[in-house]
Structure 1
Amino acid sequence: MIVISISILFDSKLVHVQPIPFRFRIVTWNAGKSEPDCDAFRHIAFPSVSNNIIVDLIVFGFQEATKTVVGSNSFHKTLKNCLQNENYTAIISGYVGSAILKPIWLYIFASDRIGKSQRVNLLKFKEEYILKVYNGNFLGRITGYKGIIASCIQIDKSINMIFVNMHLPAGKGEKEERCRLWYKFLQEYQSNIIKNDYLFAFGDQNWRTLNILSVEAILEAIKKEEYTTIFNHDELTQMRQKNSTESDTQCLKDFFEAPITFPPTYKYVLNSDAYQIEKDEEVRRPSYTDRILISTFSNDLEIIQYSSINDVKLSDHRPVFADMILHQRSKNNEMSKNTSTEKIRTTTNHIKTIVKQHILTFLMTIATMTFVCILIFLVMCQLIIKCQTQKTDMQQTAQINIVGTPSSVES
């Protein structure tokens, strides 16, 4: 029975019921037409504040990234080469906006290990792997740099995740324009058959700190690390908290955001930790323009960290990243339950088959051994009988010899 238990435990055909956690990182950064080198890209892809967490997937959303397609220092080429040296390969890369100035790039890099496992599959929006939404009319495709780009992947052939990088219209008081572009994307997206389990909306969303909070109060809150004070006076936060039926107040209303524990990411003086609070005699309040939002939050999606990357100072924006772990399905519970039940049933049936096979083998072995023992017993009996017969014959012969000897002498 010990042999049977060991065989069942290590049998390679058993079905694994528990899914393997999937780790991924989302990074958004308005690069401000900068030309980062490989070292800067490493800081963005593998932030020092991320506690050296190894992820299966890295999603980059860049805004105002230069579209230099030639030369060793090009944004696109440098990023790909740098990540390739770290054993990550681009499975999606594309841009939306101006083909000349400051396009919006979306990249998805998979680790070589996860690529070989085939856990990640790309899904199409109708005929394309990338969905693009431009701001404004046809002219915006040539000269504009505001828009939205999205791509979809499927994890373990069951969970769909949509990654949406955006650069929304700038300027304080322009929340209606920002929401209008978001609604335009939703209209394009919803015309596709593809469903989502999780939609991640990130990028330079250009939400500003409201005027009711002075610049001095903002700087004081930053100094004391009282970021909640600033966040509570954030344009998006205020808009999402309103119970109004106006269309602009519903923009991203149902999306979840992890608690913000970092200073505003805009607007910095280049290569400095100081904020640029004036430009062209206009007051600029430090703001949380760069965000990562999630359409659905559940116990299956664990947010490990949500922070800014303060050691990359090439732009007037600070990069923002979020590390997450997807444990298992939370939506379509019935489907998940049925799938798990089927796996358990398959495992149970397989175990029963193995047990039957081992029991049959065991019984056949016992029967064979019993048959051999019977044969040995019969042979032994035959030998005993034969020995007894030979002994009797010898005794009779001896008696005859003894009786016949005197007769011979007398004669």
Structure 2
Amino acid sequence: MGNSCIHVERPAKNGYEKKRKMPCTSAYVYAEEKDYGVRQRPRLEGQDRDVEEVRLKIDGLNGSDMAAFHALTRKDILWFLERSLSDKEKIHSRGIRRIERKAYMLSNTANVHPYLSLHVVTWNMNGKVACEDLGKLVGGRGESSLDLYVIGLQEVPNCINATSLILNALGGNYSLVAASVMVSLQLFIFARTVMRPFINDVRVDKVGIGGLGGVVRRHKGAVGVAFKYKHTSFLFIACHLSPHESNVGERNVQYQRICHAIFSKARRSPNGTSNINLSPACKTAVGQSDVVVWLGDLNYRIEGNRKSVSFLINQNHQKLLRAKDQLCREAERGEIFHGFCEGPLSFRPTYKYDIGTDNYDTSAKERVPSWTDRILYKVKNNNIKADVQEYDCIDSIKTSDHRPVKALLTIHLAKQLVK
């Protein structure tokens, strides 16, 4: 992968690349410095023998025989830790904390490479009220199993309370880390509740670059959330850039503006106007963060007329479509997204659809189908690795003229012992 362009995996030769499933996720749970020793606790009602054996193995551990804990699988640990709150309340609270502490220590011993699993979604709602579809962005209630859920929304109607709708879909094992909102442009980060004590220095920011009025105020710009998870800094940016095929240069300028303004204290003059000093990329939050995930309606288009682009889509000519994609072209020229990566564009362009159908725009404008909705990521150094497990659109959601796009990412963190 070249540092000056987006790395895109080659699609399958015939047809769209087959989806890949996410591997089993890690258990990051609350840890305490103190050890209260081994205590006997009552069993859960209805607890089977296998789970009881897991509990007994955990109870018998101490600092010198931690290696024995490797006999337990992550699945066993997750099953036990993710019992409902009502079941957990039947166990002595100190005992639960000890189990969670031991599970956390396992994921951070020298022989284990810790990682985070991320579910990232971007969706332009087109001002439509779609409460049920917001829940579908993260899967049905009880189906969630990843560490972080990152949801970026554009053109959100005023009457929508996205936080509560998404939390309800995730279930009781997740909590809101942060929400960054600029009218209709919104970004939400949710994490496993047991991870929350290790997420600190949480900050939010926003950068406006203009917008339109109307029933839905289609604000353009970016919102961001930054935090540290243990020793690793994360930055998430959700943006909405200017539309239309001819405005590629304007989008490039907006990208640069966001890069240098997000989480920059000196970006505005006293009278509120823009005062951005385009410092080197390494001086920006984007350049300094260990992991950056950038998502949103970037509005870069596939160049060409409607007829030729539709033919390439129907024939699954992904390589030719990608060659016409403005974002890929500009990144390869070094104009935008230096050092960022993207999964394979193996799904159909996500804009513009006739609402409620699988048909591209049949209005008089006949907009050229394009990959306007994207998710990109960047890691700062070789001690951290990011893998794309899945990159796809969500075709089942048809209430907008955009299809949501999701990415399942695994972030392999640097090995560090619990201190």
TM-score scaled by structure 1? 0.64
**Which of 282, 285, 288 is the equivalent residue of 2:368?**
285
Partner of 2:148: 57
Cα deviation for residue 76 of structure 1 reads: 2.7
* Pair 8,317 (structure 1): closer, same or farther in 2 beyond 3 Å: same
Is this contact kept in 2: 1:66–1:75, CA < 8 A? Answer: no
Partner of 1:204: 297
Query: What do the CA deviations read for 1:232-257 (whole angstroms, capped 9, x no partner)?
Result: 10111122223xxxxxx612243211
Runs of at least 5 residues in structure 1 that lack an aligned partner in the other structure:
1-5, 69-73, 124-128, 243-248, 330-335, 347-411
Q: How does 1:124-273 map to 2 (within 5 A)?
A: 129-136=203-210, 145-155=219-229, 157-189=230-262, 191=264, 195-211=288-304, 214-242=305-333, 250-273=335-358
Return the alpha-carbon distance in structure 2 between the equivalents of residues 80 and 109 of structure 1: 9
Tell me the percent identity: 24
**Which of 41, 52, 68 is the equivalent residue of 2:134?**
41
Q: How does 1:52-91 map to 2 (within 5 A)?
A: 54-68=145-159, 74-76=160-162, 78-83=164-169, 85=171, 87-91=173-177
Rg (Cα) greater in structure: 1
The 3-state SS of whatever aligns with 2:122 is strand
Query: What do the CA deviations read for 1:298-342 (whole angstroms, capped 9, x no partner)?
Result: 67212111110000000000000111111223xxxxxx6xx66xx
Number of residue pairs matched? 297
The 3-state SS of whatever aligns with 2:237 is strand
Return the alpha-carbon distance in structure 2 between the equivalents of residues 226 and 113 of structure 1: 45
Query: What do the CA deviations read for 1:17-47 (whole angstroms, capped 9, x no partner)?
Result: 2243211111000001111123x22321128
Runs of at least 5 residues in structure 2 that lack an aligned partner in the other structure:
1-61, 68-101, 266-283
The 3-state SS of whatever aligns with 1:146 is strand
Is this contact kept in 2: 1:36–1:75, CA < 8 A? Answer: no
Q: Does 1:308 align with 2:364?
A: no
* Pair 7,113 (structure 1): closer, same or farther in 2 beyond 3 Å: closer
Cα deviation for residue 149 of structure 1 reads: 0.4
Partner of 1:32: 126
Query: What do the CA deviations read for 1:98-154 (whole angstroms, capped 9, x no partner)?
Result: x4xxx1011111123433xx232343xxxxx211100149999x9551110001122
Return the alpha-carbon distance in structure 2 between the equivalents of residues 138 and 305 of structure 1: 34
**Which of 174, 189, 205 is the equivalent residue of 1:108?**
189
Return the alpha-carbon distance in structure 2 between the equivalents of residues 42 and 252 of structure 1: 30
Of Structure 1 and Structure 2, the greater helix share is in 1
Return the alpha-carbon distance in structure 2 between the equivalents of residues 132 and 7 of structure 1: 45
169-178 or 158-167, which deviates more = 169-178
Query: RCO (CA 8 Å, sep 6+): is it higher in 1 or 2?
Result: 2
Partner of 1:119: 198
Partner of 1:405: none
Return the alpha-carbon distance in structure 1 between the equivalents of residues 207 and 335 of structure 2: 20
The 3-state SS of whatever aligns with 2:316 is coil
Cα deviation for residue 184 of structure 1 reads: 1.6
Is this contact kept in 2: 1:61–1:165, CA < 8 A? Answer: yes
